[in-house]
Amino acid sequence: MKIPIVRTLSALQKITREWRTANKEISVVPTMGALHAGHLSLVREAKSMSDKVIVTLFVNPTQFNNTKDLKSYPRSEEDDIKKLESFNIDLLYAPENHEIYPEGYATQISVSGVSEGLCGDHRPGHFNAVATVVAKLLIQTSANIALFGEKDYQQLHVIKRMVKDLDIPVRIVGCETIRETDHLAISSRNLLLSDKDRKRAPILAKTLMDAAKRIETGEPQKIVLEDSIKILRSSGFRSIEYLELRAESDLKVLEMVDEPARILASIYLGNVRLIDNVKVRFGNS
Ligand code: AMP
């Protein structure tokens, strides 16, 4: 079925106002397009938990650290629309740049704490840009629920913190990472891998999963993480930006695993930056 595509804030608000008057629960799935099974799992989850589903498609220029990366970001709006039609969503909001950043735009949201370290150290300004655009999309759509992937685990924490601190009336739902059958976390960047690198890319997920199991059985995290780095280096990965264990609740550094945790990594294969994270269970978590 054809889905309404809205490109202006005023048209968006006209529709959402009617939904709100009719007491409809609205969820939103913010995306930058080039939709894949990971994004679509969020859409499926959104459909199951609300009356109306909005997907947003906006390639946010401020969150890229260089213009080359922004220019090479995959864009496939027609295909995205076809994929969304099969899910029968209620609205696609694909705003023009000036609907998000009107002339004279001067406001930025900065979330400290959870945005520091990990990706925050390697992508200066990235999380401020993400927090800012997400805040705008949440306010513009007036959604009750917003869904984000655990694939971008630090981003999920930044958004949860921001929503809490600014009293934005929306429930943030984190959804598990969708993987290829060989365990590689699905990402639009996977398409940029050479054939040879695509074959070895799953070693990242497998190494993190094995490390999680070893830590769960009580092996010292320092040794396990060092072993993981060695395995990745010898498998052709380069520039390991980080491979760290952090608390699941607030991303604090853990000297020992005495609460549920995550191992998070960012690493290059060829020129492609891959990120992934896996859960480390503690007790019954
Ligand atoms: P993006 O278009 O890359 O900004 O991603 C939009 C949303 O999809 C974010 O909340 C991501 O965390 C989520 N996402 C991306 N890849 C995956 C995946 N493999 N599994 C689950 N969610 C994902």
How many other β-carbons are positioned within 10 Å of the β-carbon of residue 277?
24
**Could you list the active site residues?**
39
Give tens-digit pLDDT for 255-271.
999 999 999 999 999 99
Closest C-alpha residue for ligand 1 atom 12:
149
Give tens-digit pLDDT for 33-92.
999 999 999 999 999 999 999 999 999 999 998 898 898 888 999 999 999 999 999 999
Q: How far is the CA of 74 from the centre of ligand 1 (A)?
A: 14
Angle between helices 153-165 and 126-141 (to 10 degrees): 60
Q: How far is the CA of 55 from the centre of ligand 1 (A)?
A: 12
Give residue 283's pLDDT. 87
Give the angle subtended at the CA of 194 by the CAs of 191 and 195, to the nearest 5°: 100
Average pLDDT of span 179-204? 96
94 in Cβ contact with 53 (< 8 Å): no
Burial class (CB in 10 A: 0-12, 13-18, 19+), 177: buried
Q: How far is the CA of 35 from the centre of ligand 1 (A)?
A: 9
Give residue 208's pLDDT. 98
161 in Cβ contact with 111 (< 8 Å): yes
CA distance 285 to 282: 6
Structure tokens at 14: 């006209």
Determine the residue of 27, 28, 29, 31 to mutate for testing ligand 1's pocket, defined as the one with the most ligand atoms within 8 A of the Cβ atom: 31
Average pLDDT of span 134-150? 98
CA atoms within 13 A on the CB side of 268: 7
Q: How far is the CA of 47 from the centre of ligand 1 (A)?
A: 16
Closest C-alpha residue for ligand 1 atom 16:
38
Structure tokens at 177: 């990472």
Average pLDDT of span 161-170? 98
Q: Which of ligand 1's atoms lies nearest the C-alpha of 148?
A: 10
Closest CA to 57 of 132, 115, 133: 133
Band of residue 284 on the pLDDT scale cut at 50, 70, 90: confident
Q: Which residues line ligand 1 (CB under 6 A)?
A: 31-32, 38-39, 41-42, 148-149, 151-152, 175, 177-178, 185-187
Closest C-alpha residue for ligand 1 atom 14:
149
How many other β-carbons are positioned within 10 Å of the β-carbon of residue 264?
21
Widest distance between CA atoms in the chain: 59
Structure tokens at 124: 């200066």
Query: What is the share, in percent, of the chain residues with pLDDT greater than 90?
Result: 94
Average pLDDT of span 208-215? 98
Mean pLDDT across the chain, nearest whole number?
97
128 in Cβ contact with 108 (< 8 Å): yes
Q: Is the pLDDT of residue 225 over 90?
A: yes
